[in-house]
Structure 1
Amino acid sequence: MKTVVITGGATGIGLAIAECFLSNRWQVMITSRNIDRLTQVIEELSKRYGDDLIDCFQADVSNEADVIGLQKKTNERFGKADVIVNNAGIAVWKHVHEMEVNDWDKIFNTNVRGSFLVSKAFLPEMMEAHRGAIVHISSVSGLCGDYGMTAYNASKAAIVNMTRSMALSYGKYGIRVNCVAPGPTNTSMFPQELKKVFSKNSPLERIVEPDEVAKAVFFMATDVSSAITGETIPVTAGFEISTGQPKMID
C-alpha cells in the first residue's frame, strides 16, 4: 500500500486531494497548523474511509523542527512516503509599497520555504528507494500577474521554477517532480459573490472545483504520468489562455 503526505490537507484543495487518494486506497498523512480543524477532519475521514488509512500531524511547514517531526511520524505510522504533495500556502492582498516586510516573509516562508523543507525532509528516503514523486501546488498566479498580489505571484512563480530544478536534480534517482497550478477554485475560502465575475474569464464559463485539482494531482503522483517530470499543469478552466481581447464576433 502506498503513502502520500499532503501539507495543508485539512481544508479546501488539500482536503480534496486527501479524499482523492483515500478513495483510491492510499495511506494519507495530512498536516495543518490548526489542530482543532485537523481533529475534526480526521474524525470525518476515518468514518468514511477507515482509520487505518488516515492520520495527521500538526505542523507549520515553515518550521524545520515541525517538518522533521512530520517525517518521523509518517515513518512510524505508515512507513516511507511514496508521494509528497506540497499544498500549504497563504496569500496577502497588498501593494508592494503598502506591504509590511513581515507579510512578505510570511508568504515566502509558507509557500516556498515550506515546500523546500518538506521536500528536503523526505527526499533522502526517496533517493534511497530510487523512486517517488513530489507534486508542488503553484497557482495560475504563478503563471500570470494579479493586481495587488505581488508577493503571492512571486512565491507561486518560484514554485514553478523550483519544480524544474528539482526534476533535473532527482530524475537520476527515479524521482519525478511536477507542479499543478489551479485557477480560481470553488472552496469555502472563495468569495461566492465573485464567482460570476471570475467565470467570465473562463471559456467554460465557470471556476474550478477542488476535486478537479485533486484528480490532476493524483495523475501526476502515479505511474500513469511516468514520463512526465519538471512540468506545470494548469487546472484553470482556461482562465489564463486569453489575451483579454473582448469578443469581436459571436
Structure 2
Amino acid sequence: MKDLKGKTALITGGGTGIGLALALQLAEQGTNIIISSTSKDRLNAGANKIREAYPNVKVLDIVCDVSDRAAVKNLKSEITKDELQVDILVCNSGVTTSGPFHEHREEDWDWIYGVVLHGTTYCIQEFYPDMVARKSGHIVISGSQAGMVPNWVTLHGPYTSAKAAVHALGAALRPEAAAYGVGVTTVVIAGTQTEIMMSERSRPERFGEPLKVEVSTRAARRIPAEDVGRQILEGIREDRGWVATHPDLKDRTKQFFDEILKAYDH
C-alpha cells in the first residue's frame, strides 16, 4: 500500500509502545488513526499526542478489550458510526505472564490466549471481510521472536505459544488475501522498549488475580518502539510478508529451523 494519505488505520494496543509509535508515523503520512486498548487514560493521552502533532488527521480512541468478541464487534460499530472504514488493521495488542508452565493457572492461559490469539482472530473476522469486498487493505499481525524460536525464551509459555499461532495465521492468510488485493504482514518482534512487562495492570477482572511468581529479570538489548514502528510502516508500504526487527537473531532462528529440518532426514 504505497499511498497512505487519507486511509484509516486501526491499531489495537495503540495507547502506548509500538502501537502508539506506529500511529504517530502513520499520521505523519496523512493516515487517519483509530487506537484502542483497555485503558481509557492511556488511550486519551496517546490520542492527544497524535492530535497535537498532526491536527489535520482524524483521530479516534475507543476502549476495547480484544479478548471479548462482543467488545470487538462494538469497536466495529463505533467506527462505522463515525463513517470510517478500516483500510489498515494492526493487530498489536499483547500481554504476557512470567513463570513456569506448571504454575500457570487456567485463567492465565485464557487471558493470554484471549488477547494475543483470539483478539487477533476476532479483529480479522470483523474487518477482513470488508477489505475483501473492497479488494483493498492491509493487515499487520504482531508476532514475536519468542514465538518464532519457542525454546529461545522460557517462562512465558502461554505468550510464546500464542505468538507462534499468530505467525501461522499470518502465513496462511497472506496467499488467500493476496487474491483479493489485501496485504498481510507478520512482524517478528524481539526486545523493544515497551510496557509489556507491566501487562498485569490490564488484566480484566474475569481472568482473576495476577499470576505472582518470582522470576529474575532477563537482560536483553531493547530497541526503541519508534524503530519497530518504522519497520512496520515500510512493511506496509512494500507489502512484505514478514518483518523481523532484530537481524542479529537470524543465526539463532536458523539454528532452530535446522533442528527441525534434521527430522526429515531420518
CA distance in 2: counterparts of 1:2 and 1:78, whole angstroms: 13
- Cα distance change of structure 1 residues 91 and 190 upon mapping to structure 2, 3 Å threshold: closer
Asked if the contact 2:64/2:75 (under 8 Å) is kept, the reply is yes
CA distance in 2: counterparts of 1:180 and 1:13, whole angstroms: 12
SS in 2 for 1:173: coil
- Per the alignment, residue 216 of structure 1 pairs with 231
- Per the alignment, residue 164 of structure 1 pairs with 171
- So what's the TM-score if we normalise by structure 1? 0.85
Question: Where does the alignment leave 5 or more consecutive residues of structure 1 unmatched?
Answer: 200-206, 246-250
Cα displacement string for residues 105-125 of structure 1 (whole angstroms, at most 9, x for unaligned residues): 111110000000001100121
Which letter maps to 1:215?
R
- Per the alignment, residue 234 of structure 1 pairs with 244
- Per the alignment, residue 68 of structure 1 pairs with 73
Asked if the contact 2:36/2:63 (under 8 Å) is kept, the reply is yes
- Cα distance change of structure 1 residues 52 and 22 upon mapping to structure 2, 3 Å threshold: closer
- Per the alignment, residue 134 of structure 1 pairs with 139
Between the aligned residues of both structures, percent identity stands at: 25
Which letter maps to 2:234?
F
Question: Where does the alignment leave 5 or more consecutive residues of structure 2 unmatched?
Answer: 1-5, 199-216, 256-266
SS in 1 for 2:82: helix
CA distance in 2: counterparts of 1:77 and 1:241, whole angstroms: 47
Give structure 1 regions of 4+ aligned residues with deviation exceeding 6 angstroms: none
Cα displacement string for residues 59-107 of structure 1 (whole angstroms, at most 9, x for unaligned residues): 0011122111212222333521111000001001121111101101111
- Per the alignment, residue 204 of structure 1 pairs with none
Which letter maps to 2:120?
S
Q: Relative to structure 2, which stretch is displaced further, 15-24 or 44-53?
A: 44-53
1:39 aligns with 2:44: yes
1:25 to 25, 30, 36: 30
- Per the alignment, residue 220 of structure 2 pairs with 198
Asked if the contact 1:142/1:155 (under 8 Å) is kept, the reply is yes
Post-superposition offset of 1:139: 0.8
Post-superposition offset of 1:44: 2.5
CA distance in 1: counterparts of 2:97 and 2:7, whole angstroms: 35
Post-superposition offset of 1:151: 1.2
Which letter maps to 1:121?
E
- Cα distance change of structure 1 residues 232 and 127 upon mapping to structure 2, 3 Å threshold: same
- Cα distance change of structure 1 residues 221 and 74 upon mapping to structure 2, 3 Å threshold: farther
CA distance in 2: counterparts of 1:221 and 1:240, whole angstroms: 22
- Cα distance change of structure 1 residues 188 and 150 upon mapping to structure 2, 3 Å threshold: closer
Pairing of 1:74-223 with structure 2 (within 5 A)? 74-77=79-82, 79-145=84-150, 146-188=153-195, 197-199=219-221, 207-222=222-237
- Per the alignment, residue 9 of structure 2 pairs with 4
CA distance in 2: counterparts of 1:152 and 1:188, whole angstroms: 15
Q: Relative to structure 2, which stretch is displaced further, 207-216 or 86-95?
A: 207-216
Q: Relative to structure 2, which stretch is displaced further, 11-20 or 180-189?
A: 180-189
CA distance in 1: counterparts of 2:162 and 2:107, whole angstroms: 14
Post-superposition offset of 1:25: 1.2
- Cα distance change of structure 1 residues 179 and 59 upon mapping to structure 2, 3 Å threshold: same
* Alignment root-mean-square deviation, CA: 2.2
